[in-house]
Amino acid sequence: MSNDDILLQVEDLTTSFRIDEQFYPANDHINLDVYENEIVAIVGESGCGKSAFGHSIMGMHHQEQTKISGKIHFKGADLLSYSNTQLNKVRGKEISMIFQDPLTALNPLMIVGKQIEEGMKYHTKLSKNKRKQKAIEILNEVKIPQPERVYSQYPHELSGGMRQRIVIAIAIACEPSLIIADEPTTALDVTIQARIIDLLKELKRRMKTSIILITHDLGVVSEMADRIAVMYAGEFVEIGEVKRFLKNPLHPYSKSLLYSLPSKNNQGEKLHVIKGVVPSLNHLQRQGCRFKPRMNGTDDSIHEETPTLREVEKGHWVRCTCYKHFQIENSHQVVEEEKDDVFQGQ
């Protein structure tokens, strides 16, 4: 991959949310390149800032509750400098979004065909009839049986899997070059999840679209993504190719996440547990390695004072030096008294 293939370049992006009259960064000076025709997964636990990242690219945040700085280069322009009207020309046409819950993501009072067409109304000069024709084509494309019939159905008349196909159809209606998929399979049953994964991969191959896949599920990442960026407490801690990452994760957080999953290999054994909880935005310690408080028995000398994301092998980036000294212990730690972890509700 060369620099010419970069589709989206996020540079020093900081997104802060207002909590009690103060702004706290949910994304803290992050950088990421998204290449053409790739699926890059943003992975982390709830509250790590991965959804905020997707919303920042689309300019979806509430303006008064959010502060954004940095640059988001996309096709020769900085999206962050765009006005809302300018962004409306990008949203849906160049970049679109797939949401987690297909039931709530669709307007219950509008037939699905109209919801698919709506974007075309603002982004193309197609006539009403042409739009309908195109919508039916897209329904076909996302493999909906009897597209003409489904066109005039309401969301509640469709099953969960069908609804998610509609949400995908809306996202691809204007053939965008980037799709941000925010937990696209989390609300679905496993067999449907498998089919939606296959569908997204196929669409990506055929339409040459790039996808930013936001998820907490490493299984989905493994099935779908080319590259992975692991996010912890508002920062990327590790970025690399999925294949290499899954065989050899480096950052302590990445390792811990992977080993906490039940799999064929650790059957009957205790699962790895990360001590403590994800810190909330307004109680996060922002100096030094943010993962330090959750590592067992490590001394401060292994961490950098101001950790940076460093390329340790080609295309594989890791934050902080502590990864060199971290081993997953096979024996699981007994759940201990958690005095300090009482979570201050956000």
Partner 1 sequence: MWKFVVRRILIMIPQLVVLSILVFILAKVMPGDALSGLVETPGVDSSTIEDMRTTLGINDPVHVQYLNWIKGLSQGDLGTSYIHQRPVLELLEARLWNTVYLSAAILFLTYLIAIPLGITAGRFHDSLIDKLIVGYNYITYATPLFIFALLMLFVFGFQLQWFPTGGSADINLEPGTFSYYMDKIYHLLLPALSGALLATVGTIQYLRNEIIDTKMKDFIKTAKSKGVPEAKIYSHHILRNSFLPIAAFLGYEITGLITGSIFLESIFSYPGIGQLFLQSISQRDFSVVTALVMVTGVATLIGTLLSDIILSLVDPRIRVE
Partner 2 sequence: MTFFKVNNLKVYYPIRGGIFRRVVNHVKAVDNINFELKRGETYALVGESGCGKTTTGRTVVGLTKATSGEVIFNNLDLTKCNRKQIHESRREIQMVFQDPYSSLNPKKTVYDIVAEPLRNFENLSKSEEREQVEYFMQKVGMSRDSLFKYPHQFSGGQRQRVGIARALTLKPKIIIADEPVSALDASVQAQVLNFMQDIQEEFGLTYLFISHDLGIVRHMCNRIGIMYKGKFVEEGTREDIYENPQHIYTRRLIASIPELDTDQHQNSELLRKNIEEEYQKENDKYFNEDGSVMDLKPVSDTHFAALR
Q: Does 196 engage in binding with partner 2 (CB under 8 A)?
A: no
CA–CA dist 67, 189 (Å, integer): 37
How many residues of this chain interact with partner 1, rule: CB under 8 A? 33
Residues 236-265 that bind partner 2 (CB under 8 A): 242-243, 246-247, 256-258, 260-264
Which of partner 1, partner 2, none does 270 bind, CB closer than 5 to 8 A by kind? partner 2
CB of 311 to partner 1, least distance (A): 33
Out of 189, 300, 304, 311, the only residue in the binding site for partner 2 (CB under 8 A) is 189
Contact between 77 and partner 1 per CB under 8 A: no
Q: Establish if 165 lies at the interface with partner 1 (CB under 8 A).
A: no
Residue 327 Cβ, how far from partner 2 at the closest point, in Å? 17
Q: Is 122 in the site for partner 1 (CB under 8 A)?
A: yes
Please report whether residue 124 would count as binding partner 1 according to CB under 8 A.
no
Cβ partners under 8 Å of residue 185, min gap 6: 164, 192, 193, 196, 197, 215, 217, 220
Quick one: the chain helix, strand, coil %, rounded to 5?
35, 25, 40
Q: Which C-beta is closer to partner 2: that of 72 or that of 197?
A: 197
Q: Which of 2, 83, 85, 191 binds partner 2 (CB under 8 A)?
A: 191
H-assigned helices in the chain = 50-58, 84-90, 112-123, 128-141, 147-151, 160-172, 190-207, 218-224, 242-247, 252-259
What are 317's strand-pairing partners?
Answer: 239, 311
113 is written with which tokens?
């065909």
Binder of partner 2 out of 274, 289, 295, 322 (CB under 8 A) = 274
x/- map, 23-62, partner 1, by CB under 8 A: -----------------------------------x-x--
Using the contact rule CB under 8 A, the part of the chain among 72-80, 133-141, 164-172, 250-258 near partner 1 is 164-172
| Contacted entry of partner 1, partner 2, none for residue 266, CB cut-off 5 to 8 Å set by kind | partner 2
The rounded distance, in Å, linking the Cα atoms of 302 and 324 is: 8
Question: How far is residue 286's CA from residue 233's CA, in Å, rounded to a whole number?
Answer: 9
Site for partner 1 contains 170 (CB under 8 A): yes
Q: Where does residue 222 fall: left (phi above 0), alpha (psi -120 to 50 degrees), or beta otherwise?
A: alpha
Pairing outcome for strands 77-78 and 309-313: unpaired
The smaller minimum CB distance to partner 1, of residues 93 and 204, is found at: 93
In the numeric block, the tokens 């000398």 are attached to: 301
Exposure on the CB side of residue 197, measured as CA atoms within 13 A: 19
Q: How far apart are the first and last CA of the chain?
A: 41
Asked if residue 207 binds partner 2 (CB under 8 A), the reply is no
Of the candidates 161, 180, 158, 163, the residue with the CA atom closest to the CA atom of residue 171: 180
Number of residues in contact with partner 2, rule: CB under 8 A?
52
For residue 154, state whether it binds partner 1 (rule: CB under 8 A).
yes
Q: Which two tokens stand for residue 166?
A: 């509609």
According to the binding rule CB under 8 A, does residue 293 interact with partner 2?
A: no
Report if residue 83 touches partner 1, rule: CB under 8 A: no
Binding site for partner 1 (CB under 8 A): 58, 60, 84-85, 87-93, 96-97, 99, 101, 104-110, 115, 118-119, 122-123, 154, 156, 167, 170-171, 173
